[in-house]
Amino acid sequence: MKKLSELYPNCGSDVEIKAIKINSKECSEGDLFVCTMGVTADRHDFIDDAISHGASAVLVSREVGDKSVPVVKVDDTNKELPYLCQRFYDYPDKEIKVLGITGTDGKTSTATIMQTLIGDDLCGYIGTNGRSCRGFVGDNPNTTPDTHLLYSYFREFLDHGCKYVAMEASSEAFFRGRLKTLEFDLSVYTNITSEHLNIHGSFENYVDCKLQLFRQTKKDGFCVLNMDDPYYDKVREASNGKVVTYGMNKDADLVIVDYKVYPKHTLIHFKYQDEIYEVDSPLLGDFNVYNFAAGLLASLCLGVDIKDCLMRISDIKISGRLDLLDTHTSYYVMVDYAHTPNGISKLLNFVHTLDINRSIVVIGQAGERDYLKRPKVGEVVVKNASYAIFTYEDPRSEDPKDICEDIIKDIKDSYDNYEIVLDRRKAIQRAIDMAKDKDMVLILGKGNETYEKLKNETIYFNDEEEAYLAVKNCELKEVSE
C-alpha cells in the first residue's frame, strides 16, 4: 500500500492506494483506476463506473472534468502504466530473475518444465495455465497478463520465497507494450510458425514481436535457442545475451542424440559438455523432446546441477497437454491445448504412432482472433485425422456458425470426413458416441481451461469434465438400450 503522493509527489493528495486496476468493474475501495486505451475501449469513458465501485483515485491522459476523487494527469496512461507498477510494487522485477519463453508452440510446456527442474519452491510460473509455485496456485486471465497484474504476481512470488519466475512471453504482450520495462535474465525460443496475423498485420511483424524478448535479454543473461528451427539465424541476430543452443544439430550446446517415443514415456539421449545422458521423460511426442531440451538447457544455464534436474524429471506434469483421461473404456479420450496448425499436425502425427484405430477430433477456433488461420486448421485436421467435429471455441461476439464456415472453407468440396456441431457440449458427446474399440477421441483447443467466452457472457466450461460426463451418458444410454 502506498500514498498517492508517494507515486506522484505533485498530486496534492495523500489518499491510500492498495492496488492498481484498469477494469472499472474490478475496482474497489483504495484502488487507483488507470484509464488506459484498450483494444476496443477508451477507459476514460468508465471513470464514473470505477468510482461507483470504490476507486479512490484516477490516472488520466486527457481532461475529464471534476471528479469526487483525486485525478492525476500524465501524457500517456498506456506508456505510464508499467513504470507506475514498478514503483507501486517496489521494483520486484529487479529482485526476481525473470525467465521468458516465447514461440508459436511449446511455451506452456517449456515454462512448466523449467519450473519443475529448477524447483517450484524457487521458481514461479506465469502463463496459459495460470500462475503457481509450491506455495500457491492462482488464475491468470491471459497467457502474458497485463502489466498491473504481472508486477503484482512478481511481488507475490517473492513473498513466497521464489528467486525465479518462468513466464510465457507472447507476441501480443510485446505488441501491447506490457513487457517494455522488463529486462530478462534468460530467454527461450521454441519455434515460429504463422499465428496471430489479425493482431500483427503480417508475419514479419509477428516475428519481430517475438524477437523483442531476445533484444530485452540482459547482456550477461542467456538466450536459449532452438538451433533446428528455420528462424534460428534471425533470432540469434536479435539476441542481446549469451546464445546457447539445443537441437539435433551436432553443433548445438545440448544435442538431442536420439529418442524413442513409447505409449507412456519417451527415452531420450542428450549430449552435454561431452557427456551422454539418458533421460526417461514422462512427456510424449517429438515436440516434447524439444520442449524438454529447451527447459533442461535453460535450467543448466542458471546453475542448476544436472543431477538435480535428472532427479526431478519424473515430477513433470503439464496440465491440459496430452491429458489421457482415465475413462475405463475400450477407446481413449485425450484433451490437449493444441490450436495452431503446426501444433495440431504434430499432435496428430504423434497420436497415429500409437496403437489406435481411428482418431476423432473435436475442435473450433476462437472468435475475434486470427481468422486467416481457420481454414488452415480445418485442412490440417481433416488431412491428419480420421474424422473431425468442428464446434465453437470462445466465439465471443462472432457467430459460431460463421467461424465454422471459415474453418471448412477450403475443404468442403474435397473432404467429407467431418461435420459441424456448433454446441461444444454436444460436439464432445457426439465424438464419444462415435468412438469404438481402440479409437482415440481428441478434444483440442482449450486444454484445462474452465471457461467459454460467448457473446454476452463467460460461462464455466471444462473439456475434461465434459468428456467424463459424455462417457457416463454413453454408458447409461447403452444400459437403457
Length of the chain in residues, anyone?
481
Q: Is 119 left (phi over 0), alpha (psi -120 to 50) or beta?
A: left
> Across the strands, what pairs with 315?
none
Position 198 pLDDT exceeds 90: no
Average per-residue pLDDT for the chain: 93
| pLDDT of 477 higher than 90 | no
Asked whether 268 and 279 are in contact (CB, 8 A), the reply is yes
Q: What is the CA radius of gyration of the chain?
A: 24
Let me know: does 179 contact 154? Beta carbons within 8 Å.
no
Task: Report d(CA 392, CA 401) in Å as an integer.
Answer: 8
Name the band, by pLDDT with cuts 50, 70 and 90, for residue 456.
confident
pLDDT of residue 362: 98
How confident is the model at residue 195, as a pLDDT?
55
What sign does the CA torsion over 150, 155, 160, 161 have? positive
The pLDDT score that the predictor gives to residue 104 is 87
Assigned C-alpha cell, 327: 475413462
Mean pLDDT in residue range 84-102: 97
Judge whether residue 317 has pLDDT over 80. yes
% of the chain exceeding 90 in pLDDT: 80
Q: What domains appear along the chain, each with residue ranges and CATH number? A: 2-77 (3.40.1390.10), 92-315 (3.40.1190.10), 323-480 (3.90.190.20)
More confident residue, 5 or 209: 5
Please give the helix or strand (H or E) that residue 166 lies within, else none.
Answer: strand 164-168
pLDDT digits (tens, 9 = 90+) for 374-386: 999 999 999 999 9
**3-state secondary structure (DSSP) of residue 100:** strand
What does the pLDDT look like over 30-52, one tens digit per residue? 999 999 987 778 999 999 999 99
H helix count then E strand count, the chain? 16, 25
CA distance 330 to 327: 9
- CB atoms inside a 10 Å sphere around CB 353: 13
- Interstrand relation of 266-272 and 97-102 (parallel, antiparallel or unpaired): unpaired
Q: What is the C-alpha to C-alpha distance for residues 127 and 361, in angstroms, rounded to an integer?
A: 25
Q: Is residue 12 scored above 70 in pLDDT?
A: yes
Phi and psi torsions of 222, nearest 5°: -120, 140
The alpha carbon dihedral of 189, 194, 200, 201 has a sign of: positive
Pair type for strands 217-226 and 184-189: parallel
